[in-house]
Structure 1
Amino acid sequence: MKKIEVPQEKNSTLDGQRKVMYGLNESGEFQRINYASNVEEFATITAVEEYKELEKECLEEIKNNISSPIKYFMYKNRMDLPTLSNAVSMFSFRVKRHLKMKHFRNLNDKILQKYAIAFSINIEELKDFNL
């Protein structure tokens, strides 16, 4: 991408900062170029809103004893199943089971501690989750 083609729009999600992209300058050499994009801003805002909606839905599922607090904190920390599985070093099928309340109740402190570390919370916040 040539320097002149790099987007220079405002992006409120970057809080006044800019990202770096490499592009060709007038001499045909690669150079670092600061950029921002409205398209990227829209995608970021849409994703954040989607995670907030998933959090709300999850709270309802927790009230109905369907989902576990792990699922809520996963969405609150803007994680998906593969990201969380990687963070706690477990297979995704195992983590997926832990997202259900009936399996969550049987988890020991060692496993809960892995989740607490991944979410940067205390283990008690998982165990004693209050709506």
Structure 2
Amino acid sequence: MKKEEIPQDDGALGRIAKEVTYVVGDDGKYETAQSSGWDVKTEALNVAWNDVERKIEAAKQKVLNSEASPVLYFMEKRIMDLSILSAYTGFWKWTIKRHMKPSVFNALSDQKLKKYAELFEISVEELKNPFTPPTSEKS
């Protein structure tokens, strides 16, 4: 692609940042140039984010229907999978799958809950009750 052919569509990050693209310069050598975005790439990103949002909502419904524990919801919300969760917590993947069962989750020790809460950057209380609004302390 030549420098004058670089797409300059309004991208997802167009107002925040420019994307570096490799182009062929007038001398035939590769060089870098900036693009503000490309409609095709923006559409692909939108499809990907819609898929992420759909997975989060499906996980939320499973938790609300007592079909899964909040571990599934926060895993989806943080865009993780079993391998990533296992690597960060030190739990085996099969153990995490068990923790996703509400009955097993409800019996987890405070130490295990704390490990998940720290990873998800929430409190243990938020982990146990993800859809309950936090209570404000009164002075």
TM-score greater than 0.5 by the shorter chain: yes
Greater fraction helix: 1
**Greater length-normalized contact order (CA 8 Å, ≥ 6 residues apart):** 1
Distance 1:9 1:117, change over 3 A: same
Distance 1:68 1:30, change over 3 A: same
Q: Distance in 2 between matches of 1:120 and 1:76?
A: 12
1:125 CA displacement: 0.8
What are the residue-to-residue correspondences of 1:81-120 with 2, within 5 Å?
Answer: 81-120=82-121
What is the alpha-carbon root mean square deviation over aligned residues? 2.6
1:69 CA displacement: 0.7
Q: Distance in 1 between matches of 2:91 and 2:27?
A: 50
Q: Deviations over 1:65-97 (max 9, x none)?
A: 211111111222233333433443444333333
Runs of 4+ in 1 over 4 A off after TM superposition: none
Tell me the amino acid that sits aligned with residue 125 of structure 1. E
1:64 CA displacement: 2.4
What are the residue-to-residue correspondences of 1:39-118 with 2, within 5 Å?
Answer: 39-118=40-119
Identify the range of structure 1 (99-108 vs 88-97) with the bigger mean alpha-carbon deviation: 88-97
- For the residue of structure 1 that corresponds to 2:117, the secondary structure is helix
Identify the range of structure 1 (65-74 vs 45-54) with the bigger mean alpha-carbon deviation: 45-54
Gaps of 5+ in 2: 133-139
1:8 CA displacement: 2.4
